Structure 1
Amino acid sequence: MFMSCSKEPDNSLTPAHILSNYHLAWSDEFDGSSVDLSKWNYRAENTVRNYATVSRNTISMDGKGNVSLKVTKDNSGKYFVGQLGTQGIYETTYGYFECRAKMNAQIGPHVAFWLQSAEMGKVGDPVKNGTEIDVFEYHRKTPGTVYHNLHWDGYGVDHKTTGKQIPVAAIGAGFHTFGLEWTKDAYIFYVDGEETWRSSSAVSQHKEYLILSTELTGWGGDPALGNFPDEVLFDYVRVYKSNY
């Protein structure tokens, strides 16, 4: 189902072959005054994930066409993070998935745009069960690096993963574009319109949903070294489907 957007799309960093061979199938340009709950769920609310509790109160529109996902710390020292997902609303297989985002600034959080399946926790067949596909992950502990990662066979003793670290000039300043082309045979990753990694590992054929998230797990460094609130901004999320 196509969902229209009011903002004129800027496709300057979308790969040319995507624009030629794919069509826009789903998008959110974040132009409204509140999160569009016909497109997103508040995900994992009230769960405690390492250092932080997931709360919708960390998520807001900034009035400039972006959604802000913050990491906050209250007066008692308790941390909060936010997540949006499309589970049960929009789930699909294959296509080109793209976001434009401005990274967070503080040590501690890591931020991400990723895909997930409801069956990913099952072991033995990621083609059937799905794979966690991290289009990008970022944290300030390695401020010049973007991470692409794949995870499958759950998160326990059978967990498997592969990924690549991508150096990106000035990644910590301004907005950058992150894309994933997911076909039956491979995942192909892009940063600012340039291919950065491809993998044929654990290629899911299971419907997956989209996730935007902030996390405070320790991977991004000791949050005691950061100043809060911190935030990641998403200008848009778009899904393109093949014309063939």
Structure 2
Amino acid sequence: MAFVTTACSSAEEAGPPSYEPSDAVDVQVLPQLAATGEDVESADDAAWVVDATVADVDEGTAVTLYAKTEDDAWEAVSEGETDKGGAVALTTPAPGRLHVVVGDGDGAIGAEASTDDAPEATFTDDFDEDTVDEPDGTWVSRDQGYIGVRTCSRTDASAAEVGDGVLTLSVLEDPDGGECQLPGRRKKFPFRLNGHVGTEGLYGFTYGFAAARIRTQSARGQHAAFWMQAVGGQSAGGAKKGGAEIDVMEYFGDDHPEGGLTSFTYFLDEDGEKQTVGGWLPDVEDLGDDWSTDYHVFSVEWTPDEYVFRIDGQVTQRLEGETSGRQEFLILSLLSSDYELPRFNGELPETMEVDWARVWETGPR
């Protein structure tokens, strides 16, 4: 959606630098998808993301976002440079009118937008109260135990706790004791309990934005994840008909040789064969190196034609093509799969923390 002004800043009201309104500047205001930092925050305090695309400009062209702050003054709240396609992602913590300005002086062009144009949230859990395995809650512990790719771990409600505005998911030693030996390996590992919750049977949606503000575990040997699965389970016939698993983020630990972060999706084709798209995020060091010390917002924009994965509003992966046409439910987990155990380099318990989870349903648009 483009927002094009017919007038720029006036003499009566101090505002952003004057610019020529131009339809060469295409602006879309996305939901509140950016919120980094060490402290717990309300989902309502996250920053809006403003996607701008400028036609016919060189890569590295400067773009500035102006917003009116609490002291009623216009300020530059975000700056960025266009990529090779002319796109840039900017953020604003201030609601209301916005100006996106390209260049400066007499040659500046731009467009006006507003945070009112962003989709409205339809599901929010700030974890200010316990909503896991409660009669009126929104999350349930998922059933998984000592089978499949996790023969050495199982889900347990004791590994998912809510307190002080945070959902803490853990990998714990199973208090029932015992050791697990993987095929072909001499070393044994303590059986583990995993934190693994979802909204299955309680909440699902089709198309929109889904986000969670997460601080990951630090050690390898388990992976933090925010993902979705089709309500009622996947079936053959392609993503639109049969649904998909949408892995918004998985983090496999600090100092991972591949950077540690993945985003991907998989579905079953007409023959029931698993088809996987996506994978390791490239150039993770450009996105940050504080995943286990600071919170970051991991999100997916899901339309009938593509999945767009973002971290704090910055696009990390775009998967184009047919997407799930089924309702999907949310999942948050810290799982220790068998293939990860030999790489374990931490101390149990390992934990991931979720500050909030939110959905903005849009329909097919």
TM-score over 0.5 (shorter chain): yes
What residue is the counterpart of 1:32 in the other structure?
129
- Measured against aligned partners, the alpha-carbon deviations of 1:10-69 in whole angstroms (never above 9, x if no partner) come to 222x423695330010010011156363211111154543320111110102x3211000
Q: Distance in 2 between matches of 1:41 and 1:233?
A: 17
Q: Distance in 2 between matches of 1:235 and 1:219?
A: 29
The answer to whether 1:230 aligns with 2:350 is yes
Whether the 8 Å contact between 1:32 and 1:65 is mirrored in structure 2 is yes
What residue is the counterpart of 2:119 in the other structure?
22
Normalising to structure 2: TM-score of the pair? Answer: 0.59
Given the superposition, is the C-alpha separation of residues 126 and 215 from structure 1 closer, same or farther in structure 2, using an over 3 Å criterion?
same
For 1:97, what is the secondary structure of its paired residue? strand
Match of 2:249 among 136, 159, 165: 136
Match of 2:292 among 169, 172, 177: 172
Match of 1:44 among 127, 143, 154: 143
Higher relative contact order (CA 8 A, sep 6+): 1
Normalising to structure 1: TM-score of the pair? Answer: 0.86
Q: Distance in 2 between matches of 1:219 and 1:31?
A: 35
The answer to whether 1:106 aligns with 2:239 is no
Given the superposition, is the C-alpha separation of residues 40 and 227 from structure 1 closer, same or farther in structure 2, using an over 3 Å criterion?
same
Decide which moves more: 226-235 or 213-222.
Answer: 213-222
Query: 1:1-244 residue pairs with structure 2 within 5 A?
Result: 7=42, 9-12=44-47, 14-16=48-50, 20-33=117-130, 35=132, 37=134, 38-46=137-145, 48=147, 49-61=150-162, 63-74=163-174, 75-76=177-178, 77-140=190-253, 142=256, 144-153=259-268, 158-166=273-281, 167=284, 168-170=287-289, 171-222=291-342, 225-242=345-362
Q: Distance in 2 between matches of 1:45 and 1:79?
A: 12
Q: How many residues of Structure 1 are paired with residues of Structure 2 in the alignment?
A: 236
Percentage of pairs with the same residue: 28
What residue is the counterpart of 1:3 in the other structure?
none
Considering only CA atoms, is the larger Rg found in Structure 1 or Structure 2? 2
Structure 2's unaligned 5+ residue stretches are 1-40, 52-113, 179-189
